[in-house]
Chain A
């Protein structure tokens, strides 16, 4: 039984190899082209959809949270015992840099000097972060996000960096939910109100990014903000931590928790800190990608079905002759299944080369400029290989069925061309 199976496999391979070798190069090329497109549809479509959000998440990670982010407990205004916690974090060997941040809600106002009593004040609500400019730059590279003006220096007095979406000239579409200041640019003075404290500050630089936490907020030197909010105990609101390469954020989070740090603060990896809606969008896009890909898979299956059906139908006489001289129907069926597999494998191999040799590195080097993220192509090898398997499996089925339909016909009817 088993030996007969291997014999059929051997004959099937013998026939398939020769049919493929002697098939028209144009026909083979066209079928393989359809397979390549199907593969790209399977991998790239959902990869771009997910990559669009993944790009946003990576930027959130790299430009704002760092690898691990420590923030105040939900029922606390700030992290109590920040100094001890900062010392503990600094003592961890995995930590490369950290940036303690102060944070406070504020109102910024632009036209306070020129407005008449009847004019509406030009204001916007925002969050002000007090940072150590050098530490913050080491963790998040904030200086590189300054597109106009200059980055903060430790000695800057009454100077701020302002996110671009707080300035109306950068807001692409007016959104009544997010107010922006008019006629403010580098060098303009604006009024900053935190609680009862009002201070006039000068815009030193404009922050451009696709991370909302940067583009809708204001940054100033920590000592300046501390003096405005009257906090002298050294307790901060956030600590963003950059780890050394290959260090595990989850392992550092666990070590901090084991040290009891979670009693004073919320300790999250950048993944934990991702907004839930981003995770939901990724899942949704994955589903959408799978749905679109399924259509591609069905189209590829139908293509293979038609190709094999026509191939087997036009060779019906020869199939009859083979059966007539004693070639097993199973061996002939296997030859068609192997041909289908060949088309799917070749298409997938070319597709893999295009995806990993061209698209992934190309898009990583030149991300797609979406309005809210720099989209990348997410194509994890495991998932991609699963999709290759899916494509091959569906083409095997699509090749087997028409071959079975033709081969099962009466041998003599096939030889004589009778219906």
Chain B
């Protein structure tokens, strides 16, 4: 489903070059749940951004369903992200002016859905995540765990090909984290492909496979199940 070949990312600051990804070969099959671990600065987030088309690599390739991402224009990438990817960020990344349901509705409407159809999908996604009472709450009126659940609802409402999650439990207490991880496990059981960065081993082990990055390279690949 998604593959990287010799993926390289180097940041330049004047003459100074900082290599972050040093040639990563990686493959995730459809329906797989992969966790990525590593110390801070190992290149986990940078790796996720390249795969999820939020950033352009310095070298190598990202191939999605057999199509090289390098051949896509910026507008095509935007549309691809909208239709085929879902994102869960560490800080929830909800839009503060929009209510829970509006946050979920927005990308669905952008896909050209009719409002009624989009609303039905958004409501279903939020209700499934236990937020049926919070549909019309603004993010500032929700707890961290609730906000992250809205964020997950937004990411999965349109049934994306791949769900990218960047440390989704980093800002949550252990109870909320457990709830979030159970949700991930549940949607994965239904066939959702997930690529998740985490610092916490117990959550990493909930994925089928855990890879560890060190200094811009994959150093270990562990099968958890």
Contacts and interface: CB of A to CB of B under 8 A. Distances in A.
A412 interface: yes
Contact of A325 (B49, B82, B96): B82
Contact of A328 (B78, B97, B102): B78
A412 B98 contact: no
A148 B214 CA distance: 104
A324 B110 CA distance: 13
Interface string A1-45: 001000100110011001100100000000000000000000000
Contact of A412 (B55, B82, B102): B55
B89 A318 contact: no
Interface in A318-355: 318, 321-329, 331
A19 B97 CA distance: 6
A18 B98 contact: yes
A412 B57 CA distance: 13
A325 B107 contact: yes
Contact of B102 (A3, A18, A318): A18
Contacts of B154: 325
B200 to A, nearest CB: 22
Contacts of B85: 326
A325 B87 contact: yes
Contacts of B82: 325-327
Contact-residue size bin, chain B (C-beta under 8 Å from the other chain): 20 to 34
Contact of A324 (B54, B75, B80): B54
A415 interface: yes
A140 interface: no
A7 B115 CA distance: 12
A331 B111 CA distance: 12
A22 B107 CA distance: 20
B177 interface: no
A321 B109 contact: no
Nearest to B111: A326
Contact of A327 (B75, B93, B110): B110
Contacts of A15: 97, 106
Given A411-B54, A412-B49, A11 B109 contact: yes
A95 B54 CA distance: 81
Given A18-B98, A321-B95, A325-B87, A10 B109 contact: yes
B95 A322 contact: yes
A11 B106 contact: yes
A78 to B, nearest CB: 79
Interface in B78-96: 78-83, 85, 87, 89, 93, 95-96
Nearest to B86: A325
A15 B105 CA distance: 11
A42 B78 CA distance: 43
Nearest to B99: A18
Tell me the interface secondary structure of chain A in the complex.
helix
A322 B89 CA distance: 12
Contacts, number: 63
Contacts of B107: 325-327
Interface string A182-205: 000000000000000000000000
B110 A328 contact: yes
Interface in A365-419: 411-412, 415
Contacts of A324: 54, 81, 87, 93
A289 to B, nearest CB: 40
B206 interface: no
Interface string B131-171: 00000001000000000000000100000000000000000
B110 A331 contact: yes
A326 B111 CA distance: 9
Contact of A22 (B49, B79, B81, B97): B97
Contact of A14 (B49, B81, B109, B138): B109
A325 B98 CA distance: 15
B196 to A, nearest CB: 17
A327 B138 contact: no
A409 to B, nearest CB: 13
Interface in B49-68: 49, 54-55
Contacts of A7: 110, 112
Interface string A234-265: 00000000000000000000000000000000
Nearest to A20: B97
A138 B70 CA distance: 89
B81 to A, nearest CB: 4
A364 B167 CA distance: 69
A8 to B, nearest CB: 9
Contacts of B81: 324-326
Contacts of B89: 321, 415
A333 to B, nearest CB: 14
A275 to B, nearest CB: 60
Contacts of A318: 93, 95-96
B93 A326 contact: no
Interface string A285-312: 0000000000000000000000000000
A22 B102 CA distance: 13
A326 B110 contact: yes
A323 B95 CA distance: 12
A328 B73 CA distance: 13
B95 to A, nearest CB: 5
Interface of A: 3, 7, 10-11, 14-15, 18-19, 22, 318, 321-329, 331, 411-412, 415
Given A14-B102, A326-B81, 7 more contacts: A7-B112, A325-B107, A326-B83, A326-B107, A327-B106, A328-B78, A328-B110
**Which 9 pairs, one residue from A and one from B, show the smallest C-beta to C-beta distance?**
A326-B82, A326-B81, A321-B93, A22-B97, A412-B55, A412-B54, A18-B97, A19-B97, A325-B107
19 contacts: A11-B110, A15-B97, A15-B106, A318-B93, A321-B93, A322-B106, A323-B78, A325-B82, A325-B87, A325-B107, A326-B78, A326-B82, A326-B85, A327-B110, A328-B78, A329-B78, A331-B110, A412-B49, A415-B54
